[in-house]
A and B are shown apart, each in its own frame.
Chain A
Amino acid sequence: MAEKFDVIVVGAGPAGTSCAYTLAKAGVNVLLLERGEYPGSKNVMGGVLYRKMMEDIIPGFYKEAPVERLIVEQRFMLLDEKSAVTFSYKGLEWGEEPYNNFTVLRAKFDQWFAEKAVQQGALLVNETVVTECLVENGKVIGVRTDRPDGDLFADVVVLADGVNSLLAKSLGFHKEFRPDEVALAVMEVLKLDRKIIEDRFSLEQDQGCTFEIFGDATKGILGTAWLYTNKDSLNIGVGAMLSGLIKNKIKPHQLLDYVKKHPIIRPYIQGTEQQEYLAHLIPEGGYRSIPKVVGDGVIVVGDAAQLVNAIHREGSNMAMTSGVLAAEAILEAKAAGDFSASMLDSYRQRLMDSFVGQDMKKYKDATHHFEKYPHYFEKYIPLMNRAASQMFTVDGSSKWEKQKKIWRELGSAKEKWKMARDLMQAWRVMK
């Protein structure tokens, strides 16, 4: 006889574990299923974990969790072939409690987080793949796994099975993604002595910094590269829209090689030793790509629900919040003894009212806009670099002359008009 749980959560990433943790803490009999050897073994992200949403779940978690460095500086680089315009904010208030964000290595962090859920009473089973949801009269009543005697029942199944969410797809919640709805990211963890990291990036002990790199890093394709500092390693990666990669016939690892060899980036990663190579899809379709997230006896959270804010590199925090909100809706449903879609719909409402839904809505057109008009990346970033070079190169010509030259470089009146319109457009989709 197959066992029955109150709730089965599929996938022990930030969304699934947050959900399982919250439910277990409330005394719910919850099973957390993970396909990897251990939670985190198959999970990939650039490396930034925001404090707030995690702390809503476990106050003061950073005192014991395996976090790498406290981020005190965020740099934004607009990269051209041999130059970069860089903006940066360094704030030492981020180095003190309450911190803003941290770098983490997911293999370590997710394992720790799942262990916390187990301590709350969740049951964790690894190395088990859920192959389908068991459905009866249109209601999800459990899951089938790839193991012998592998069926299990539950009042609610939470799908936290990641970007591809084959389970939500098989329920008809979403279709196969279009290449302009997902980004493909590749990343390397590069080993480097912690003292060298601190010297190279002007950091004190435990402090860290992040680079977001736009422009030439993705050869004009919509995407970003990043460079983050861990304790004794660096994360360097690049992610670009799948559609752009296909159109430009560039393989992501070629892009990463290009970034690593880029004359502006190269000095930062000198003397490192490659430790890990990771690749993953990122759901970047935004608000319009959010699938159906609630059905009878089933809820979709995290990447599986496409909850990523590509503009602000936020994802794991949204995943966590969605997991908690799902748990809250389930607790309510449990109290009412009703696990129908209309009851569980309170999850969708909570989600849309939260910062997750609001931010998704705010940027609903952003990625699509930049995808549609590649000249933001192809043209304006190099232009900014040339303007900066022109202005700051001392060659005997007056600053007035320089300004005139830059103005001329912007092109004809028609082109300037177009640029002004583009800037307006960009403002409109971002505001």
Chain B
Amino acid sequence: MLHIVACIKQVPDTKIIKMNPKTNTMDRSSAPAILNPYDAHAVEEAVRLKKRYGGTVSVLTMGPPPAVKAIRKCIEIGADEGYMITDRAFAGADTLATSYALTKALEKIAKEKPIDLIICGKMTIDGDTGQVGPGIARRLDIPPLTSVKKVVEVNKQQGYAIVHRKLEDGYEVIQSALPCLFSVEKEINEVPYSPLPNMLRAARYQPVIWAVSDLEDVDRTLLGLKGSPTIVAKVWPPEKPKGGEMLEGSAQQQVERLMEILQQKQELFAGKEARA
């Protein structure tokens, strides 16, 4: 029986979020909070492995109290239990401090029920770093397998897992000892429409909630803003390209106009024509 923990995060929907033009920070009130899309795939993969091998899926998140919603979303997908660590002391954490706090929570979960596998999404859409997963693996001293796009086998008896890791020009097949950590690509699975009983369970579900004081052996200087060496010097939205020309008319006309522009501006085909 596997015990799989998926680490998840509630993020603002960056597809629609607005930037505050004065401070260049995200205006979090302008976008709804959602479950980080990559994490939905992480939870789904955990649920699939549970169906394949039997076991339990837990999810863990660090965040403010409203993040309970993201845990409920995971219950909808099929997770069994949810844990949330929430405390003012966690505020302002960068990826280093976040991975430390999550590791402490994972240690506490493992004490109750040993963990065989941790699955994270490839990255969050609000931070885009992909560092928390490997950070947790490093702290727990287990192998991090990043860019996982397929899980071939998880064998608890013999203590190994085999996965496909996505590379730029293909994939590699890797075997690792258990326990280990996967961070998964979107293409690993499709998250299906949840069955109604899961929806009802999620609507009623209350996760386990821990504050810093509930965790053991915590070095408070490694938490939150204090434990975060990252300094965000400046954030700015990419400059929007100005001007340009909208091609109009039939496909034929548009292509002709495009060719004209390419020939003029880049002289791409000029040489060829001259040669011909």
Contact = CB atoms under 8 A, between A and B. Distances in A.
Contact of B200 (A38, A123, A146, A148): A123
A124 B196 contact: no
A235 to B, nearest CB: 19
Nearest to A31: B200
B204 interface: yes
B209 interface: no
A128 B203 CA distance: 12
A149 B199 CA distance: 11
Nearest to A147: B196
A394 B225 CA distance: 73
B197 A128 contact: no
Contacts of A145: 196
Nearest to A3: B200
A128 B204 contact: no
Contact of A3 (B193, B194, B195, B197): B197
Interface in B173-223: 193-197, 199-200, 203-204
Interface in A1-48: 3, 31, 37-38
Interface in B16-41: 32
B188 to A, nearest CB: 21
A125 B200 contact: yes
Nearest to B34: A37
A124 B195 contact: no
Contacts of B193: 146-148
**Do most interface residues of chain B lie in helix, strand or loop, or is the interface mixed?**
helix
Contact of A123 (B32, B194, B197, B203): B203
B74 to A, nearest CB: 15
B199 A147 contact: yes
A125 B32 CA distance: 18
B28 to A, nearest CB: 16
B200 A149 contact: no
Contacts of A151: 196
A258 B171 CA distance: 58
B194 A147 contact: yes
A150 B204 contact: no
B204 A148 contact: no
A145 B193 CA distance: 12
Interface in A146-178: 146-152
Contacts of B196: 125, 128, 145, 147-152
Contacts of B200: 3, 31, 123, 125
Nearest to A1: B197
A147 B203 contact: no
* Contact-size category for B: 10 to 19
A37 B76 CA distance: 14
A123 B204 contact: yes
Interface in B74-105: none
A146 B196 CA distance: 9
B100 to A, nearest CB: 34
Nearest to A124: B203
Contacts, number: 34
A297 B239 CA distance: 60
Most buried by A among B194, B196, B199, B200: B196
A124 B202 CA distance: 10
Nearest to B193: A147
Nearest to A118: B203
Contacts of A125: 196, 199-200, 203
Contacts of A146: 193
A124 B193 CA distance: 17
B213 to A, nearest CB: 28
B204 A147 contact: no
Nearest to B194: A147
Nearest to A37: B32
Nearest to B197: A149
A256 to B, nearest CB: 23
Contact of A149 (B32, B195, B203, B204): B195
Contacts of B199: 125, 127-128, 147
Contacts of A127: 199
Nearest to A5: B200
B93 to A, nearest CB: 28
Nearest to B192: A148
| Most B-side CB within 10 Å, residue of A37, A128, A145, A147 | A147
A8 B200 CA distance: 13
Contacts of A37: 32
A145 B200 CA distance: 12
Contacts of B194: 147-148
Interface string A115-133: 0000000011101100000
A43 B268 CA distance: 53
A38 B34 CA distance: 12
A207 B204 CA distance: 39
Contact of A148 (B32, B195, B203): B195
A147 B199 CA distance: 9
B70 to A, nearest CB: 14
A127 B195 CA distance: 11
A155 to B, nearest CB: 17
Contacts of A147: 193-196, 199
A127 B193 CA distance: 10
A395 B117 CA distance: 90
A147 B203 CA distance: 15
A128 B196 CA distance: 8
28 contacts: A3-B197, A3-B200, A31-B200, A37-B32, A38-B32, A123-B200, A123-B203, A123-B204, A125-B196, A125-B199, A125-B200, A127-B199, A128-B196, A145-B196, A146-B193, A147-B193, A147-B194, A147-B195, A147-B196, A147-B199, A148-B194, A148-B195, A148-B196, A149-B195, A149-B196, A149-B197, A150-B195, A151-B196
Given A31-B200, A123-B203, A128-B196, 17 more contacts: A123-B200, A125-B200, A125-B203, A127-B199, A128-B199, A145-B196, A146-B193, A147-B194, A147-B199, A148-B193, A148-B195, A148-B196, A149-B195, A149-B196, A150-B195, A150-B196, A152-B196
Which 5 A-B residue pairs are closest in the complex by CB-CB distance? Answer: A148-B195, A147-B196, A150-B196, A149-B195, A125-B199
